[in-house]
Structure 1
Amino acid sequence: MKLKVMKLWDHLMLRKRFIIETVFDQLKNISHIEHSRHRRFISFMVNLLAGLIAYSFQPKKLSIKMTRLDKRALMQICG
């Protein structure tokens, strides 16, 4: 397999993939956000917003802790 050049931010977020996938899994299973065909855009947005509100009321929410190196890399990318 060939090595590919990745942006620094992508490389840093790849390290945090487990946490991101866990949050997505909770949004799908607990908050019932899923990909389905909505007849109207407003019903899609209501479903998404309701799931995010339900997730915000959970007692334990995961977060990505950023180190100094991560923050420095972010500052280089953004500014």
Structure 2
Amino acid sequence: MKPKVMKLWDHLMLRKRFIIETVFNQLKNISKIEHSRYRSCINFMVNLLAGLITYSFQLKKSSIKMTWLDKHLIA
């Protein structure tokens, strides 16, 4: 496969992919946010909001730590 030119932001986020996947996994399993067939848009929004509120109350949250060099490379 040929190497492709990638934007700097995409390259930095690719390095942080494990942390992003961990957050998605926590949202799906701990906060019970998952796709199902909702009968109305309001039910979908209530479920999504409840899951995000649950995630915000967790004591240990994963976060992407940007170094000084990462921030200056983007700018």
Mapped partners of 2:52, 2:68: distance in 1: 29
Deviations 1:40-74 (A, max 9, x none): 11111111110000011111011111011221233
**In the superposition, relative to structure 1, how do residues 2 and 63 fare at CA in structure 2: closer, same or farther (>3 Å)?**
same
What amino acid is aligned across from residue 52 of structure 2 in structure 1?
L
Match of 2:17 in 1: 17
C-alpha distance in 1, partners of 2:14/2:42?
Answer: 33
Q: Which amino acid aligns with 2:73?
A: A
Report the TM-score, using the length of structure 2 for normalisation: 0.92
Q: Aligned partner of 2:2: which letter?
A: K
Report the aligned-residue RMSD: 1.0
**Structure 2 CA distance for aligned equivalents of residues 36 and 12 of structure 1:** 32
1:69 aligned partner: 69
Q: Which amino acid aligns with 2:26?
A: Q
Residue 6 of structure 2 corresponds to 6
| Number of residue equivalences | 75
Q: Secondary structure at the match of 2:54?
A: helix
Structure 1 runs not aligned, ≥5 long: none
Cα-to-partner distance string for 1:3-34 (whole Å, 9 max, x where unaligned):
11111000000000000000100000000000
Structure 2: any 5+ residue segments left out of the alignment?
none
Matches of 1:56 and 1:32 in 2, distance apart?
Answer: 13
In the alignment, which residue of structure 1 is the partner of 2:34? 34
% identical aligned pairs: 80
CA distance in 2, matches of 1:70, 1:49: 31
